[in-house]
Chain A
Amino acid sequence: MKGEFVEENNSVNSNKEQKIKEQFLDEAFKKVEIKHGIRKTDEKKSKKITYEKKFPKLCILLIIIAIIVWISINYVPWGYIKYDTGSSEMELSINRDFILSNESGKAIDTNVSKNITNLFSKPYYLGLSTNDFSDTPKLAENSIIVLIVLCILITIFWAIDKIFNFSAEIFIVVHFVITTTVIVPCMFIILSVSKFVGAQILIYYNSHFITAKILTVAFPVAFVLIILGFVTIRLIFTVIKIDFKEMQKLLKTGVTETMTFR
C-alpha cells in the first residue's frame, strides 16, 4: 500500500491541530501531576478541614481576667500588717484608698493607725507611699477597661466578619494583633504592682529604721495580680502559638493551590 500526502484546508487543519494540542497539553499536565504527586496534595486538599471561624475564646479569657482583677482590687486587702501593740498583737488590713481595718473587728488604736500612716507617708524607706495605694488600683482599673475594650473589639470584628466574610488570613491576623495588644495592659498591671513587692524587700533590709513595731507586712493583691498577669501572658503566648499554627496550615494549602495551577 502506498500513501501520499493530500493538502487539506489550512483553517480546518489548524483548528484540528489546535484541539489536539490542547488535548495533549491537558494529558501531559495530568501525567505530570501523577508523576510528581500533585494529585496526592489535591486529595489532601479535599480532605483538609477548612478553617472554621469560631467565636474567639480570647474574649471569654479576657472577661474572666478582668473580673478576677476587679474582684482582687476591691475585695482583697492591698496590705496586711501584723502589729505589736506591746500587750497584744493586732492584725490590720489596708484596703484601696489606704483605709485601715481590723481583721478581728476590734477598734483600731489611734497610735497604731498613726504609726502605720507615718510608715507609708515617706517613701524613703519602703519606696511606697499612701498615694500608691489609691493610684495603683486606678491604674489596674484602667487596664481592666483596656482589656474589656479589646474584648469588645474582637467581638465586633467577629460580628463584622459574619456579614462581610473576611478571608481566614485576615481573620487570624486581626485576632493575632488584638491578642498581642493584650500583653500591654497585662504588663502595666504587673509593673504597677511590682513596687509593692519591692517595698516588701526593702522592709526586710531597712527594718532597723522602722520605729513602729511591725512584725509582718504583706501585700496580697500585688502577688495575686503579678501571678494573674504572668498567667495571662502565658495564655496569650499559647493563643499566639495556635494562631501561628493555623496560619502555617493555611500557608501549606496555599502552596499546593499555587503549585497545581502553575
Chain B
Amino acid sequence: MTKIFVERVRKITILIFLSSLISLIFISILPCFAIEDIEGNIIYYNIESIKNSDDKEIKTLFETLNLIVISNWVLIIFTLLSFIGTILIISNKYSNIAKIIMLMVCANIIFSALSVVLSWNLIKSTGEINNAHFPFILSGIAINYQYIPFISFAFSLFGSILYLIIVSNFYFKYFMGFKKQKKIEKKPSKEKKAPSESLKQEVKVFVNKSIPQKTTSVPQQPSVSKKEESFEGYIQEDHADSEQYPVPERRLQTRKDLIPDEEPVDVKGPYEKPFEKDIEPDKPKQEEYPEKKEQEIPSPFEKALSSAVEKRQLSENKVEELPKQSPLKKRLSIRCPECKNIFTVEKEEGVLETKIECPKCGRKGVIKQ
C-alpha cells in the first residue's frame, strides 16, 4: 500500500517538477508579446526586455510574468519537499514530519492554479494593449508563444490535482484506519480486564485438577471427592478440545468406554485405566457440572493452552511409564464376575490364553485374546 502510494507520488512529483521547470525556461526564453511600430514592423519582446519598461501596461504584463515565475519557483520547492516527504515515509522514521510535509505540499494546487490563471490573463491582456500582437512562432502560422508555457502550466495543474487526490485519499484512509484500530483496541482492553484475572485462577484450578495423575496397580474403591474432581476435569478438558483442537483418539475411547460398565472383563490401554474410576460417577455430580461451567468460562486460548499442557504432561507420564512396562506385557483391569472385584493382571502379548485367579474370592478363569 505504502510502496504503491510512494511510487505514484514520486512519479507525479517528477511530472510537476519537470512541467514547472520547463515552463520557467519557456517564460524566460520565449517572447511574451509583440508590438507593431509605425512602419508596420513587429518587435518581439521577452521577459528580460520588458523588465525596465516605463509603460504601465507593459509593467503590469511584467508583474504578471514575475508572479508566474514566483509561483513556479514555489512549485519547484514544494516538489523537492515532496521528494523528502516520500523518503521519510519509506524510512518509517519521522512519520509525523512526513505527514506534515506531504499535506503541506498539497498546497501546490493553489500555485499551479494561480500560474494557469495568470497565464490565461496574460494571453487576454496582451490583446488589449494598443498595437500589441501575439508573439507567433512564425508570422504565417497562428501559434501563439504564450500558449506553450500555458500548456506546461496545465500539466503542472493536472499533476497537482492528482497529487492532492492521492495524498488526501491515502491519509484519509490512514486516519480512518487509525481511528478504527483505536476503537478495536479500546473494546477488548475493557472486556479483557475483568475476565482475564478470574480465568487465570480458573485455569490454575482446572489444570491442577486434571493433570496430575498417578496410576496405582490395584486401586481400592475411590473416595467420592476424588471421583468428582477427576470427572470434572476430564469433561472440562474435552469441552476445551472440542472448540479448537481435535480430541485425541485415546481420550475419545475412554469417553465411549464409559458406557459398557456391566461387562465382566474390560480390556483397555494403560492410559484409559485411570479414567475407569470415572465410569461410575454419581448422577448428581454430573448435574453439578453445567452450573460450574456457566460460572467459569475459560477463554479459548486458555482452554487450548491448558489442554496442550495436559497433553504434554500425559506424554511425559507416558515416557515415565514406558520404561517401567515391559514392551511385551500388557496390564489389564479385570472385574470378577462373582464378587465384582476389580484387579489388574499382566498379560503377555502373543499368548493366547492367560490363567487368572481372583485375589478376593479365589475364582479361577482364563483371558482369551
Bound form: Cα–Cα A14–B43 in Å:
99
Q: How many A-B residue pairs have CB under 8 A?
A: 181
Partner pick for B84 among A1, A5, A176, A233, CB 8 A cutoff? A176
Known contacts A125-B43, A187-B76; decide if A2 and B309 are in contact (CB<8 Å).
no
Partner pick for B313 among A1, A20, A205, CB 8 A cutoff? A20
Are B90 and A248 in contact, CB atoms less than 8 angstroms apart? yes
CB distance from A243 to the nearest CB of B (A): 7
What is the size, in residues, of chain A's interface with B at 8 Å between Cβ atoms? 59
Known contacts A10-B208, A127-B48; decide if A2 and B276 are in contact (CB<8 Å).
yes
Are A21 and B305 in contact, CB atoms less than 8 angstroms apart? yes
Q: Check if A121 is an interface residue, CB within 8 A of chain B.
A: no
Offer 7 A-B interface pairs, CB within 8 angstroms, sorted by A. Answer: A1-B331, A17-B207, A123-B52, A176-B84, A180-B80, A195-B28, A251-B2
Determine the main DSSP class of A at the interface with B. helix
Bound form: Cα–Cα A2–B273 in Å:
5
**Nearest chain-B residue to A193 (Cβ)?**
B28
| Docked complex: A186-206 residues within 8 A CB-CB of B | 187, 190-191, 194-195, 197-199, 201-202, 205-206
Partner pick for A244 among B10, B31, B51, B76, CB 8 A cutoff? B10
A residues within 8 A CB of B209?
Answer: 5
1/0 contact trace for A119-136 toward B, CB 8 Å? 000011111100000000
**Nearest chain-B residue to A177 (Cβ)?**
B84
CB distance from A10 to the nearest CB of B (A): 7
| Docked complex: A1-49 residues within 8 A CB-CB of B | 1-8, 10, 13-14, 16-17, 20-21, 23-25, 28
B residues within 8 A CB of A205?
Answer: 31, 42-44
Interface size class of B (residues with CB under 8 A): 35 or more
Q: Check if B344 is an interface residue, CB within 8 A of chain A.
A: yes
Q: Check if B87 is an interface residue, CB within 8 A of chain A.
A: yes
A residues within 8 A CB of B360?
Answer: none
Which of B91, B226, B308 has the most C-beta atoms of chain A within 10 angstroms of its own C-beta?
A: B91
Bound form: Cα–Cα A248–B222 in Å:
68
| Docked complex: B1-57 residues within 8 A CB-CB of A | 2-3, 6, 10, 14, 21, 24-25, 28-31, 41-49, 51-52
